[in-house]
Amino acid sequence: MALRAALRGRLSQLSSCTGHGRVCVPPTLLTQQRNSSTSPKIKVDLDQSTGVAVMRMQSPPVNSLSLDFLTELCISLEKLEMDKGCRGLIITSSQPKVFSAGLDIMEMYGKSPERCGEFWKAVQEMWLKLYSSNMVTIAAINGSSPAGGCLVSLTCDYRIMADNPRFSIGLNETQLGIVAPFWFKDTLANTVGHRHTEMALELGLLYNPAEALKIGMVDQLVPEDQVLSTATETMTKWLTIPEHARQITKSMMRKPTIDKLTSNRDADIHNFVSFITKDSIQKSLRMYLEMLKKRRG
């Protein structure tokens, strides 16, 4: 509980200073985090010789995006962003067969409006940090990546997925009776276009790797055991581009989408809390959780 309280406090510090899609951070936070390269749910290894960090999500069993997980992720990202020696970030999973199963449903079921709001603010923070990052970001998708897991990969500059037909990826929120917010929609539309986004979101589609490649949800498929090595090779190519030119171009492409959320954060939190706490939505979540229990049983 002490860890969770400390992490929430740090997230509040981060959230209180935003602008232009960027998040600034108090010097005290950087000092606190400077000597810590690992955390219970996130492990970061930075290669000083190449300037490339590998971030491994390691929260068993499926890297669910809980409040604690998201807070640790945000702190890790901020530390890397402020490290001038870090130019690229590869995001992958330490869990077998799954990249991330998405938002933790237990953060949305049976919780107070205040807690739901705090959780949603952390989801926003994660997206803002990743989508506006100055680093080259590559998703090494070594397993299934539904819902919020798909969102994490979509924020990256490039996506490499394991070519295993049993893996799936997509924003399948409607299957749970949940509506993907506008910035989820915008991120997907910026990647695969309007029509594919419309079909994907309305039907809550999950795509196998070949289907995801076909519509542009991922950029490359490789054998499972080559996902990370391919991401490393690809990163080398991206880092040959003059940094200022790449960063300005990335900002130019993404700024309208980022500004749309930064200017509507409070309203977006209010809309989420109002929606997720409805009796009908809570009932849908309860039914889904009961279905999961039966599967495990």
Residues noted as catalytic: 103, 148, 172-173
Return phi, psi of residue 169, to 5°. -150, 145
The Cα 140–Cα 91 span in angstroms is 6
Q: Name the residue with tokens 């109002």.
A: 274
- Is the preceding omega at residue 61 within 30 degrees of 0, hence cis? yes
The Cα 123–Cα 176 span in angstroms is 18
Nearest one of 137, 142, 100 to 226, comparing CA atoms: 142
| Residues present in the chain in total | 297
Within a 10 A sphere around the Cβ of 211, how many other Cβ atoms? 16
**Cβ atoms of residues 238 and 158 within 8 Å:** yes
Taken in order 126, 129, 200, 212, is the CA torsion positive or negative?
negative
Q: Name the residue with tokens 């390269």.
A: 37
Which residues fall within 8 angstroms of residue 287, CB to CB, at 6 or more apart? none
